[in-house]
Amino acid sequence: MNRRKFLSSTGLLLAAKSLPALPLPPFTPKPASAKADHALRIGPCTLDIGRGVSIKTVAYNGQVPGPLLRMREGVPVTIDVTNSSDNADIVHWHGLAIDSYNDGAMEEGSPMIPAGHTQRYAFTPRPSGTRWYHTHAMAGDDLTRSTYTGQFGFLLIEGHDHPARYDQEINLAIHHWGPSFVPMVETMRADSSNMPLTTGSDVGYKYATINSHMLGSGEPVRVKEGQRVLFRLLNASATENVVLALPGHTFEIIAMDGNPVPNPKSVEVLSLAVAERVDAIVHMNAPGVWILGSTLEKAREMGLGTVIEYAGKKGAPAWKDPAPSTWDYTQFAGSHVAPNPDDSFTLTFRDIGPLHGSKFDTWTINNKSWPKIEPLTVQKGKRYRLVFRNGSGDQHPLHLHRHTFEVTRIGDKQISGLRKDVINVMPLDTVEVDFVANNPGDTLWHCHQQLHMDYGFMQLIKYAD
């Protein structure tokens, strides 16, 4: 169903009747009358993110990020979500291999939660690792909705393995606030017809936070010399990719999107596309007061940073620009060639400019846009390769629901072992990922930038009967 038509409908009943018949959840861990393991409430809240800066938004349980949810891998859970906002909404459990009904994407058949109603989600959480939860509603041209709001939180699935030793864990979520539409700067890249690749409007922001505060506000992250600190970093922005550094320190990358990397490596600078997560160990061996923040001065001035304060140290936080570097996924991957897939799909995406009087670009996959795009069909148990070809001047963080994929090629370089659920495809680049069709049910893949997703950049994958 077209998410635009659903949310613009004046009657929820009419919209509900137009949905396909929904399958029942595969199990019910607790009777409906029993108390859920977790409870979330979607509702309005006001955040004081900086001195004299208040943000009115929508959040879970009146806080940003939402409550930290810890679960055990393989242990069934129930979560009651009550919608106390004015609009129908939905929660997506990002990175989990669960059924389509509970996944939290209307395109897959998950039900929207009408205003004033409660939805019970019931599933068995897997795989282990740093996952997250967030709204999966449409925003369109309403920048007070969906991922522009504070509706996001960490979801940690604890398994039996403990891949790293650490003394303290710190969860940091990045978000941008005060969105508005701004003219999009046309890229200098051109296609074979010498026409600009990017036109229309984009989203700009006034402020940025790590967790709920701008740089210089809120409490610092307090550490001790000699500690090994596990930082779980999440980019919960609606549209903005970020690059971070902590002067005087390096990040030992041990996991991406919750999955251990084949080749842990220390870097001075790390990149987080929209919806990506990185688990990094930082050795606290440079006593002082530092800024962990964006490598861009303008972004730090907007608030994108937090203070790291060693015990016994005071004073103004220090910043030092890191040496120039290029983010390279391949350095964390294996070098052997991945197995050949059973089949592959080549998916070329680009923007075709505003259509039908819209001021926003329409995005296409093989020249078609959601919802007028045929699904990809797969067979259970087979290995498939998705060849992502970026024909635009934008970066695109691509997310596959309900499955984890293995990155098998970036540009001309073949790799293996790097398992993710979001991959950022650079302008005019090609990336290949493999997944095993081992979780039957409708499965969505899309660009995680809200504006791109809302304007065509989505496609379903269906399992053959």
Would you give per-residue pLDDT tens digits along the chain (465 residues)? 444 443 333 333 223 323 333 343 444 445 566 899 999 999 999 999 999 999 999 999 999 999 999 999 999 999 999 999 999 999 999 999 999 999 999 999 999 999 999 999 999 999 999 999 999 999 999 999 999 999 999 999 999 876 679 999 999 999 999 999 987 654 333 333 333 333 345 899 999 999 999 999 999 999 999 999 999 999 999 999 999 999 999 999 999 999 999 999 999 999 999 999 999 999 999 999 999 999 999 999 999 999 999 999 999 999 999 999 999 999 999 989 999 999 999 999 999 876 655 567 899 999 999 999 999 999 999 999 999 999 999 999 999 999 999 999 999 999 999 999 999 999 999 999 999 999 999 999 999 999 999 999 999 999 998
Q: Which residue has the tokens 């029942």?
A: 24
What is the residue type of 57?
A: T
- Helices and strands: H and E segment counts in the chain: 5, 32
- Rounded (10°) CA dihedral 11, 17, 21, 22: 20
Count Cβ atoms below 10 Å from residue 206 Cβ, excluding itself. 13
pTM summary value? 0.90
User: Going from the N-terminus, what domains does the chain have, and what CATH number goes with each?
Assistant: 3-158 (2.60.40.420), 168-327 (2.60.40.420), 343-463 (2.60.40.420)
For the chain, first and last CA: distance in Å? 21
Q: How far apart are CA 302 and CA 300, in angstroms?
A: 5
What is the residue type of 234?
A: L
Among the listed residues 94, 73, 84, 95, the one whose alpha carbon sits nearest the alpha carbon of residue 40: 84
Q: What angle do CA 90, 94, 95 make, to 5 degrees?
A: 155
Q: Note the pLDDT of residue 353.
A: 73
Q: Which residue has the tokens 């009777």?
A: 31
Among the listed residues 429, 427, 357, 367, the one whose alpha carbon sits nearest the alpha carbon of residue 394: 427
Distance, CA of 355 to chain centre: 27
Q: Note the pLDDT of residue 190.
A: 34
Long-range pairs, 11-15, Cβ under 8 A, ≥24: 12/88, 12/112, 12/114, 15/112
Q: Note the pLDDT of residue 354.
A: 65
Are 133 and 89 contacting, i.e. CB atoms less than 8 angstroms apart? Answer: no
Q: How far apart are CA 348 and CA 105, in angstroms?
A: 23
Q: Note the pLDDT of residue 16.
A: 30
Q: Which residue has the tokens 């041990």?
A: 254
Are 362 and 456 contacting, i.e. CB atoms less than 8 angstroms apart? Answer: yes
What would the DSSP string read from start to end of 197-235? S--SEEEE-SEEEETTB-TTSSPPEEE-TT-EEEEEEEE
Which H helix or E strand runs over 103? Answer: helix 100-103
Which H helix or E strand runs over 252? Answer: strand 251-256
Q: Note the pLDDT of residue 28.
A: 43
DSSP 110: P
Q: How far apart are CA 304 and CA 458, in angstroms?
A: 29
Distance, CA of 42 to chain centre: 19
What would the DSSP string read from start to end of 127-190? S-EEEEEEE----TT-TTSGGGSB-EEEEEEE-S------SEEEEEEEEEES-EEEEPPPPS-B
Token pair for residue 243?
Answer: 């690059």
Q: Note the pLDDT of residue 356.
A: 52
Output the CA torsion sign for 91, 95, 99, 100.
Answer: positive
Q: What is the pLDDT of residues 299-323, one digit of tens each?
A: 999 999 999 999 999 999 999 999 9
Alpha carbon distances (Å) from 145 to 53, 151, 232, 399, 452: 20, 9, 26, 20, 15
Q: Which residues pair with 306 in a beta bridge?
A: 292
Q: Note the pLDDT of residue 183.
A: 73
